[in-house]
Structure 1
Amino acid sequence: MNIRPRVATDDAALAALWERSVRATHDFLSEDDIQFFLPLVRDAYLPALTVWVGDNPDGTPAGFIATGNSNVEMLFIEPAYRGQGIGRQLLDHVKVLHETLSVDVNEQNPQAHGFYLHYGFEQTGRSPTDGEGRPFPIIHLRLRAA
C-alpha cells in the first residue's frame, strides 16, 4: 500500500470514506450526529491536521490517519478493507514520525478500543464526554514505549 500525504483535493473523498466507516462502526451515533460531524471532518479537521492517506493500487484511498502533534486524531478505513492490516500500516507509518503516540477512542466503539490495545496502547484515563461536550465517553490511550 502506498502511504502519502493528504492534498486538499483529497478532502471530499476522505470525508466520504469517513462517513462510510463511521456508519459501519459507530452505531451509537445518530444521523444528526453524523451530519453534525461530517462538515467538521471535511472542512476543519482534515485541513488542520497532518493526514496520511493509504492508497489502493488504483489510487483510491483505502484509509487515512490524521495526527495533531503526537495524538492520533482520526484513523478510518474503508469498510470493505477492514481487517486487512491497513490500520496497522498507517499506525506504523506515524509511529516512526513521533516519539510518543496517544489516542482517544469512543467507549462505545469496542472494536477500535480492542484494536489499539492489541497494537500496544494502554489505557490512561476516561472522560464522560467527547471533545465537543457530547455524551460520548472517551477512553484515553498511550502507546507503550518499546
Structure 2
Amino acid sequence: MTKVWEASVRATHSFLSETSIQKIKISLPKILQQIPDLIIVEDEKIIAFMGISHQELEMLFVAPEFRGLGLGKQLINYAIKNFDVNKLTVNEQNPQAIGFYEYLGFETYRRTETDDAGNPYPILYMKRKEN
C-alpha cells in the first residue's frame, strides 16, 4: 500500500515537499493500523485503497496508471452503499480531488488553515449533499 500511496501523492499532491512526503511515509503504517476498515483493490498487486472510519472516508489513493478509469468512483460508491460514508476531508491544494468529490455529490461545509498535524495545508471538510 505504501507504493500506491507514494505514487498517488506524488501525482496529486504537488504542494507537499519531499521532506513532508518522507515524514508521512514513515508514519503511514501506523496511520493505516488506526483505520478500522481498509478496502484494497488488487490486480496482481495493490492498485488502489481507501480507509473508512465511522461513516467518514479517511483516505482514497489510486495508483497513477489507474487514475481516470472509474476505479475511484467505484470505491466511493461502494463506501456509500456498504459503509454509509457521508463525510470526508481533502487538501484544499488538491483541486482534482475536490472536483472529483463534488462531481460525486459532496460539498464543502468547513475549512481549516492547517491539517490535523498542524501543518500549513488547508483542509476542506465535505459532506454528501442531501437529496
Verify: 1:35 aligned to 2:29, yes or no. Answer: no
Verify: 1:134 aligned to 2:102, yes or no. Answer: no
Letter in 1 for 2:16: L
Q: Distance in 2 between matches of 1:60 and 1:119?
A: 27
The answer on whether the counterparts of 2:57 and 2:85 sit within 8 Å (CA) in structure 1 is: no
Question: CA 1:30/1:105 → structure 2, altered by over 3 Å: closer, same or farther?
Answer: same
Q: Which residue of 1 aligns with 2:90?
A: 105
Q: Distance in 2 between matches of 1:115 and 1:105?
A: 11
Q: Which residue of 2 aligns with 1:53?
A: 40
Q: Distance in 1 between matches of 2:2 and 2:130?
A: 32
The answer on whether the counterparts of 1:62 and 1:86 sit within 8 Å (CA) in structure 2 is: no
SS at the partner of 1:97?
Answer: helix
TM-score, reference length from structure 2: 0.94
Aligned pairs (5 A) from 1:1-146: 14-41=1-28, 43-49=29-35, 50-56=37-43, 59-146=44-131
Structure 1 residue 99 displacement after superposition? 3.3
Q: Which ranges of 4 or more aligned residues in structure 1 deviate by more than 4 Å?
A: none
The answer on whether the counterparts of 2:57 and 2:88 sit within 8 Å (CA) in structure 1 is: yes
Structure 1 residue 54 displacement after superposition? 1.4
Q: Which residue of 2 aligns with 1:5?
A: none
Letter in 1 for 2:77: D
TM-score, reference length from structure 1: 0.85
RMSD, aligned CA:
1.1
Could you tell me the percent identity over the aligned residues? 37
Structure 1 residue 100 displacement after superposition? 4.3
May I ask how many residue pairs the two structures share in their alignment?
130
Name structure 1 gaps, 5 residues minimum.
Answer: 1-13
Q: Distance in 2 between matches of 1:69 and 1:91?
A: 15
